[in-house]
Amino acid sequence: MSQSSATSSVGQGAALQSSSARVNRHRADWRGWKFMWPFAVVFVFVFIVPIVYAIYISFFQKKMIGGTVFVGLANYARLFGDTQFWSSVVRVALFTIVQVPIMLCLAALMALALDSMKLHGTKFFRISTFLPYAVPAVVSTMIWGFVYGAKYGLVGSLNDLLGTNIDVLAPSVLLASIGNIVTWEFTGYNMLIFYSSLSTIPHSLYEAASIDGASEWQIVKSIKLPELRGSLAITVIFSIIGSFQLFNEPSILQNMVPGNAITTYYTPNMYAYNLSFTGNQSNYAAALAIVMAVITMAIAYAVQLNSMKEQMK
Amino acid sequence: MRNVKKVIAATAAVATLVGLAACGSGSNGSSADTDTDNAKGEIVFWGWGNGIKETIAAFEKANPGITVKYNSTGTAADTATALQNAISAGKGAPDVVMLEDPTVTQFAVDGSLIDLSQFGADKYESDFAAGPWNKLQYGGKPYALPIDSGPEVFFYNKAIFDKAGVDGESIKTWDDYYEAAKKIHALGDNYYITNNSGDANAYQPFTAQAWQAGANPWKVDGENITINMTEDAGMQKYIDFQQKLIDEGLVNTNIANWSDDWNRSLNDGTTASLIIGGWMPTNLESGAPDQKGNWRVAPLPQWSEGDQVSAEDGGSALAIPEQSKNKAAAYKFLEFLTHGDGAQVMADNGTFPSLKKILNDSDFQSAENEYFGGQQVNKVLCEAANLPVTKFQYLPYNPYAQSQYGDAIAPAYQGKITLKEAMANYAKLLGDYGKQQGYNVTVK
């Protein structure tokens, strides 16, 4: 199909060359696909096909007795009544509400500090805050896990020294401890996005501000913060998507945390993983993945709409 | 009927451009090429543990023409996951796979493994210890041959026991064990007779101790499953005993088996004993090197004085996936490692064997182990392996049962609910899952 349309479009193109450019703009032109097809093929196979396949298998159920049967929307119906699933969604939602603002505030403060030109060793500061992002999440989680250990870790050594009995891996504070790891990992990344948007501010604005006698605080408030708003929308959306996909940190910590503080359904992704690989229920896991994708997209879309409205003001 | 299914599956596969056919054609109607004498080619082997490379070298020397490609798949759980993936995908499974014993039936039920009696493996029944052999049968046929066995025994740190004034040798019953637990905890807040946090890794010790108590929490009869986690007499014995240890704070509920903290606590002596399978010695040597010379092994404490009842914890076996393209060569390797000369190579490298020939060998039994202060460790373990074992059934979805154990049981070890309540929740989880998988489940 693409072969024939490609040749015909070449013919059309030759004919059109003599006619006006206006017609050319409005006619469908397949020549673009000659450049597009390598991407399009890869895109279809690694993106579209897996999604369609996941949707397809989510309508089936594989049983040990009875094999694979078509069950329609039964997997989705079961999901809506699955308390384990909703508890994991609530957990990542709580995580997002608390962790994302803290991380982004820190990132914004760091970016403003770097941009203020009043620091020594800016380059070192910039690279060292970004460095945790370059460490694989698995490695950084293990490092933090060893730090957190209440008996044999750094926390344990501090406890011995101070005679305290602090346990940052206790179930009640575990989510905050994971939040700390994620914040450590991603603050530098977000800082860099903020910093790059601050560095696009034309220097003439600052000159004008100083001629007007604006204080440093007024410059931050009236020039820098409004500029950050655009990149804020991007970082918020990235962070929400990232938090809803929380997986590496809790699954690595699972073996380092005493007891069973991290359950097999701690986050939606972990639940999907365990359903699929130890529960032999990949069809149900596919339904879960699709519902989570819809939830995440809905939230990200709402955030984007909201921020667009803000910018219109 | 089967053909109709295949046609439907094939049509669906073509229509969606994905290889779904494997789901429809999983049944093992095909008979493998059983001509092992002329077997040739390369086979892929997934496994873990010590001594594998040495055994493969010995096999390739004895069988020119067959090469074995070994993939170390890490742990039992990872291997089962990888096999499950390959089966779902319809390709990519190895020719020979190592599995933990209770996992074998799950893969046998849906025809993912082949029945080894077509190669004559059923004739080996009397050559293996009864405990591991019985766990590998499905529908009366062997689906795997055992590599090792895991008779549950009592490992203790004599230095710590001496300090607490407890003679490890004198612990004959679980009541003695309870008294010892009190004395050891009296050494200091950090000292415990053992650890148990009720996590997923505590599942095997749980099944072993309940098994020894004569419990039958799961009864499987074809498609019918009866789950009785709280009313069964053996389960009640087990629950009451564990609850007593939890209530009096005599076990360390903050350390999970196989965690980094676990090894450290074994190494500094604060975890003073373990109730675990007979394959533990090599793990102790590598995990707790500082305690060299201090550990000892003793028979499992009994529920009633004078009893002689054992139980099995773990153990692994070799099986051949249905997907294998070279089953004859695969069986030849499987037979070599489990029943042939390779079994001795494995035993020499620290595997605790299941083959009676090696178990009862006097050189094997009299070997003195320096890590255990010169104790004849194998002798104690062999006696345990030869003890009678009552019948115990695992669920056909054992990996799932293991993964959910922590979710359901850990709250009891954290003191949030009682162990009996936790077991009832666990039974409900397992029952619901069984029903979803098409079994007729009764939860008592």
Question: What are A70's strand-pairing partners?
Answer: A60
CA distance A261 to A278: 19
Q: Which chain B residue shows the shortest CA-CA distance from A277?
A: B81
Quote the minimal CA–CA distance from A119 to chain B in Å.
42
Torsion of CA B392, B397, B403, B405, to 10 degrees: -40
Judge contact between B237 and B215, C-beta under 8 A: yes
Pairing of strands B273-277, B152-157: antiparallel
Query: B158 and B217 share a domain?
Result: yes
**B425–chain A Cβ distance below 8 A for any pair:** no
Identify from A41, A174, A255, A283 which residue to disrupt to test chain B contact, counting B C-beta atoms within 10 A and taking the largest count.
A255
Domain with CATH 1.10.3720.10 in chain A: 76-312
Tell me the residue type at A223: I
Query: B323 and B202 share a domain?
Result: no
Quote the minimal CA–CA distance from A185 to chain B in Å.
23
Of B197, B438, B439, the CB nearest to A260: B197
CA distance A98 to A102: 7
Phi, psi of A147 (to 5 degrees): -65, -40
Q: Give the tens place of pLDDT for each residue, B131-169.
A: 888 889 888 899 999 998 889 999 999 999 999 999 999
Of B383, B183, B190, B185, nearest in space to B268 by CA: B190
Quote the minimal CA–CA distance from B259 to chain A in Å.
6
Mark yes or no for CB contact A62/B436 under 8 Å.
Answer: no
Instruction: Provide ipTM, 2 decimals.
Output: 0.79
Mark yes or no for CB contact B261/A68 under 8 Å.
Answer: no
Of B117, B116, B112, nearest in space to B94 by CA: B112
CA distance B27 to B104: 16
pTM here is 0.81
Residue whose token pair is 């005493």: A258
Residue B205's alpha-carbon distances to A131, A186, B214, B361, in angstroms, are 43, 40, 14, 28
Judge contact between B194 and B266, C-beta under 8 A: no
Query: B9 and B49 share a domain?
Result: no
Query: B157 and B201 share a domain?
Result: yes
Query: B50 and B82 share a domain?
Result: yes
Q: List B residues 101-130 in contact with A (Cβ-Cβ < 8 A).
A: 106, 109-110
Quote the minimal CA–CA distance from A96 to chain B in Å.
24
The per-residue pLDDT for A268 is 96
Judge contact between B59 and B343, C-beta under 8 A: no
Query: B294 and B383 share a domain?
Result: yes
The per-residue pLDDT for B221 is 83
- B186 falls within a domain: yes
- B326 falls within a domain: yes
Query: What is the number of structural domains in chain B?
Result: 3
Chain B residue numbers with beta carbons less than 8 Å from the beta carbon of A256 are 259-261
Residue whose token pair is 């489990």: B338
**B265–chain A Cβ distance below 8 A for any pair:** yes
In CATH terms, A76-312 corresponds, of 1.10.3720.10, 3.30.460.10, 1.10.10.10, 3.20.20.70, to: 1.10.3720.10
Query: B64 and B88 share a domain?
Result: yes
Query: B244 and B285 share a domain?
Result: yes
**B259–chain A Cβ distance below 8 A for any pair:** yes
CA distance B274 to B413: 17
- B368 falls within a domain: no
Residue B270's alpha-carbon distances to B194, B273, B294, B300, in angstroms, are 9, 9, 13, 21
Q: Which chain A residue shows the shortest CA-CA distance from B414?
A: A259
Of A67, A171, A260, the CB nearest to B407: A260
**B220–chain A Cβ distance below 8 A for any pair:** no
Domain of residue B60 covers 31-149+315-359
Instruction: Output the tens digit of pLDDT for each of chain A's 313 residues.
Output: 344 444 444 444 444 444 444 555 556 778 888 889 999 999 999 999 999 999 999 999 988 887 889 999 999 999 999 999 999 999 999 999 999 999 999 999 999 999 887 888 888 988 999 999 999 999 999 999 999 988 888 999 999 899 888 889 888 899 999 999 999 999 999 999 999 999 999 989 989 998 998 888 898 888 899 888 888 988 999 999 999 999 999 999 988 887 788 999 999 999 999 998 888 898 999 999 999 999 999 998 998 888 878 777 6
Give the helix/strand (H/E) hosting A146: helix A137-148
The per-residue pLDDT for A313 is 63
Q: Is B133 helix (H, G, I), strand (E, B) or coil?
A: helix
Q: Which two tokens mark B56?
A: 């493969």
- Which stretches of chain B score pLDDT less than 70? 1-33
**B433–chain A Cβ distance below 8 A for any pair:** yes
Of B260, B404, B437, the CB nearest to A63: B437
Mark yes or no for CB contact B81/A278 under 8 Å.
Answer: yes
- B365 falls within a domain: no
Chain B residue numbers with beta carbons less than 8 Å from the beta carbon of A255 are 256, 258-259
Query: B130 and B252 share a domain?
Result: no
Of B298, B316, B312, nearest in space to B389 by CA: B312
Query: B107 and B224 share a domain?
Result: no
Of A73, B177, B235, B243, nearest in space to B169 by CA: B177
Query: B229 and B200 share a domain?
Result: yes
Quote the minimal CA–CA distance from B223 to chain A in Å.
7
Of B260, B396, B406, the CB nearest to A256: B260
CA distance A111 to A190: 9
CA distance A216 to A204: 15
Mark yes or no for CB contact B256/A68 under 8 Å.
Answer: no
Of B413, B438, B439, the CB nearest to A259: B413
Please list, in sequence order, all residues whose beta carbon lies within 8 angstroms of the beta carbon of residue B197, skipping any fewer than 6 positions away: A258, A259, A260, B252, B253, B254, B255, B256, B410, B413
**CATH number for the domain that contains residue B234:** 3.40.190.10
Query: B229 and B307 share a domain?
Result: yes
Q: Which chain A residue shows the shortest CA-CA distance from B86?
A: A277
The per-residue pLDDT for B146 is 94
Phi, psi of B37 (to 5 degrees): -65, -35
Mark yes or no for CB contact B410/A260 under 8 Å.
Answer: yes
The per-residue pLDDT for A25 is 56
* For helices B398-413 and B76-89, angle between their N-to-C axes, nearest 10 degrees: 140
Judge contact between B402 and A279, C-beta under 8 A: no
Q: Where are the extended beta strands (E) located within B229-366? A: 251-252, 273-277, 295-298, 316-319
The per-residue pLDDT for A4 is 41
